[in-house]
Chains A and B, each alone.
Chain A
């Protein structure tokens, strides 16, 4: 069974949002709608939920038609079997955690309801909070209750609207890593809206990069992120080096990762996966003409310049350092370093700037 979407939503102001994609629903899969605020990604999510009605196109789920402009069919949200996690959670303030999670379970008996809620409380590490009210919870706890509430009725498709954006840094970090595991454990496919590339690459498989209502690029996440088709996409995504790597050694929060023929040092939490994607933002790469004598940065790589792409005051330098590495430097720096295609340069990257995402 597949979700097939091809929709256009036109606003009276002239703003138009259009996108088309397909995604399997019989196994766990995540599609990421990625873009800056106002790019139309939330509109697409609301159209999927049935909270908004597209002006053209269709949404099909296997044999079921959720929306079809041609036959004027529009299934209300109640009939779609979805779970929606809102950006600011939208928990019912007058119900306890238990009642919130059980809200979509009225077709079950009391015993079944209790069992399902307890299962989710355990999964999402919310034990002991069942009788609290949302106002008595921390942001991270509210977020998990919202997730539990959406997962409880075992929806066909989970819709997540910037699920981590309202959280503080450390909490977001922890939840980002756990979110994928939770979703995968329930086997529920999801569509995720985000503007955070780390969130996208941690959770997603397929990504649609949106700007001003239009899809600029779509495809597998590592492909889109590492090979943006335009500087516009590169700017929106903000991370241009995404390469497969393997963790060789992990100790004291530092990981040694083999990437192509090079070895990188990264700051990494304990993780089970040895297979990772290594993500490096172009502006975090420093270029030097000679090997640095002493530096605090852990990664020093000698490479050959493969391409130079000027972009305003900046130049995007593509290096081969044993893998494809992109650096973003100023035009002046580029001239002072006498950078040209074919010449060599040293790339320096701090260990915390090397992000590892499990594959």
Chain B
């Protein structure tokens, strides 16, 4: 049992979800309320990782963050010498790859809130920010929870992007799914089985908890 890999996996999933919450909520809010004609293109970009193989996302990320890449040059300007083969690097890859799993449920949740409730709050003199916090968020949070859980559970099992961007460094970028792959390569089926079972159990527990929570929320 590779406990270090399990710890890296958990940290990766937590960071991914956290970052997605911070950038995904405003992005989803903008998508749900904008009348910008190019909205479709932005939505397509957000959904792209859903249909692309993770290796493609990982490959571009590797090139972009390399010393010759645009992102890489920017990063060296602010004092980060490289992202590839580091923990922040796999977080970035995982965030991009999980974007649709968070932003799509967030957007759907915001869109399902009756627009007139927002307008009612504005007419009562309540600012846009307060309206977002006191009307929009409380009414859409089952959908936000779904987005968070989906991206958390999905990044637990992330393989392709992590392997491309992060390689296989124990304690840094070696996640459970990579460890499983290694054990299978080494014909060490018993160890692979243990870790696979652990991932299945973990993902199942997270998803069940969410559905239970949502049920009790809707019933209220």
Contacts and interface: CB of A to CB of B under 8 A. Distances in A.
Interface of A: 49-51, 76-79, 81-84, 86, 88, 90, 92-94, 103-104, 106, 149-150, 153, 159
Contacts, number: 53
A285 to B, nearest CB: 41
Nearest to A77: B122
B79 interface: no
The contact size tier of chain B is 10 to 19
B124 A103 contact: yes
A94 B117 CA distance: 11
B123 interface: yes
Interface centre among A76, A78, A84, A86, by most chain B C-beta atoms within 10 angstroms, is A78
B117 A77 contact: no
* Interface-centre pick from B114, B117, B123, B139 (highest chain A CB count, 10 A): B123
B117 A92 contact: yes
Interface string B107-141: 00000001011011111111100000001001100
B134 to A, nearest CB: 8
Main secondary structure of the interface of A (DSSP, over half): loop
A78 B120 contact: no
B119 A84 contact: yes
Contact of B119 (A51, A79, A149): A51
20 contacts: A49-B119, A51-B119, A77-B119, A77-B123, A78-B123, A78-B125, A82-B123, A84-B120, A86-B116, A86-B119, A86-B120, A90-B114, A90-B117, A90-B120, A92-B117, A94-B139, A103-B124, A104-B124, A104-B125, A149-B124
Nearest to B139: A94
The 6 A-B pairs of least Cβ separation, nearest first, read: A104-B124, A84-B123, A90-B116, A77-B122, A90-B120, A94-B138
A9 to B, nearest CB: 16
Contact of B123 (A49, A88, A92, A106): A49
A161 to B, nearest CB: 10
Contacts of B127: 78
Given A86-B116, A93-B139, A94-B139, A103 B122 contact: no
Contacts of B117: 90, 92
Given A90-B114, A94-B138, A94-B139, A81 B120 contact: no
A51 B120 contact: no
A78 B126 contact: yes
B122 A81 contact: no
A86 B115 CA distance: 12
Nearest to B114: A90
Contacts of A83: 123-124
Contact of A78 (B114, B122, B138, B139): B122
B45 to A, nearest CB: 27
A103 B116 contact: no
